[in-house]
Structure 1
Amino acid sequence: MRLRFLGSTSEAGACPTLYETDRGTIVVQGLRVTDAEALADLRDVLDGEAAVEVPRELLTDIARRVLPEAAEDRR
């Protein structure tokens, strides 16, 4: 699998960061959620899965930039 950098809200390329894969999926790099109450709210967590925290503004910024490209690809 290959990753293409989409964006980050941090300095020097640290997390949180979003990547697009060559398989059409998104990879999230971020700080692992360790708060016990937050983890208790998660549903159906499988072995090997982890929750990471990402700022809302990163998701909306990337969506504005990436979704128009995806819409054009479908035409």
Structure 2
Amino acid sequence: MIKFNYENLYGRMKSKGFNQSSLARKIGISAGTMTNKLKGQPFKQDEILNICNVLDIADKDMSSYFFTIEVQKTEHYAT
């Protein structure tokens, strides 16, 4: 399963004065749903558009907030 990195989104939320709960309320979803989305449940298209509108994210920048693939860290074990 592909996991996305939402660090840019978290930063934008903070810079605009939102936390997960307040942003969730603003776009009409529950805080629990927002948490699940940020942990890997896919965002719906309308949720992405609503978040972009609230946080003033330009269309051309949308991918860096929602579609940056998280790089998997590999563990190396000493043998």
TM-score (norm 2): 0.25
Structure with the bigger RCO (C-alpha within 8 Å, sep 6+) is: 2
Query: Structure 1 or 2: larger helix share?
Result: 2
